[in-house]
Structure 1
Amino acid sequence: MKEKFTRWDAVDHLHSETEQTAYLNACLEDDPGDGSLVRAALGDIARARGMSSVARATGISREGLYRALSSDGNPEFATVMRVMRALGVNLRAA
């Protein structure tokens, strides 16, 4: 009997703002220091909320956001801040 596997996608589990916040906080805690995990989490949350609407809110093309927030993307800090603002995410120092 062959086993059938499907690709796991975080977006399938990010239905509420509470789930999205918990996910982003976990990624912030576990990020290896290069921002890759946080970048991926922002991309997942943007996809969960609708990449087109996030793109409109940031003024960045949908394709540009997918590229910037991809696993091999390297967005400018200004882009990350625009995405965070569009998602309603606040960055605070503690």
Structure 2
Amino acid sequence: MAEKISDYNAAEYLKTPEDVAAYLELCFEEAQGDPAVIAAALGTAARASGMSQVAREAGLTREGLYKALSADGNPSLSTIVKVLAALGLRMAVEPRRV
């Protein structure tokens, strides 16, 4: 009998701003500066919170936000900051851990 394997969707597990912050922190750390990974992680966080609501609060169109946060997207710093704010988060800088 074949086993059924379902797709993992991280967005289903991001219920609170603290969950989203921990997820993004891990993704940013693992991304090692890869903008595509960071954009995808922000997209997952936005889907968890409702893409339409995040887009509205960020002052963007839903379609534009999907495009910016897709694997081929290249969101501007302004978009990233707006999305983080819509998610109830802010950007911070700290020394790199070696």
Is the TM-score greater than 0.5?
yes
Shift of 1:80: 1.3
After TM superposition, what 4+ stretches of structure 1 lie above 4 angstroms from structure 2?
Answer: none
Structure 1 unaligned segments of length 5 or more: list them. Answer: none
- 3-state SS of 2:15 partner: coil
For the aligned residue pairs, the C-alpha RMSD in angstroms reads 1.3
Shift of 1:35: 2.0
1:49 matched to 2:49: yes
Once residues 16 and 39 of structure 2 are traced to their aligned partners in structure 1, the CA distance between those partners, rounded to angstroms, is: 19
Once residues 17 and 93 of structure 1 are traced to their aligned partners in structure 2, the CA distance between those partners, rounded to angstroms, is: 18
Once residues 39 and 89 of structure 1 are traced to their aligned partners in structure 2, the CA distance between those partners, rounded to angstroms, is: 15
Task: Tell me the percent identity.
Answer: 46
Equivalent pairs, count: 94
Once residues 65 and 52 of structure 1 are traced to their aligned partners in structure 2, the CA distance between those partners, rounded to angstroms, is: 9
The higher-RCO structure (CA 8 Å, 6+ apart) is 2
Structure 2 unaligned segments of length 5 or more: list them. Answer: none
Shift of 1:93: 2.1
TM-score of the pair, normalised by structure 2: 0.85
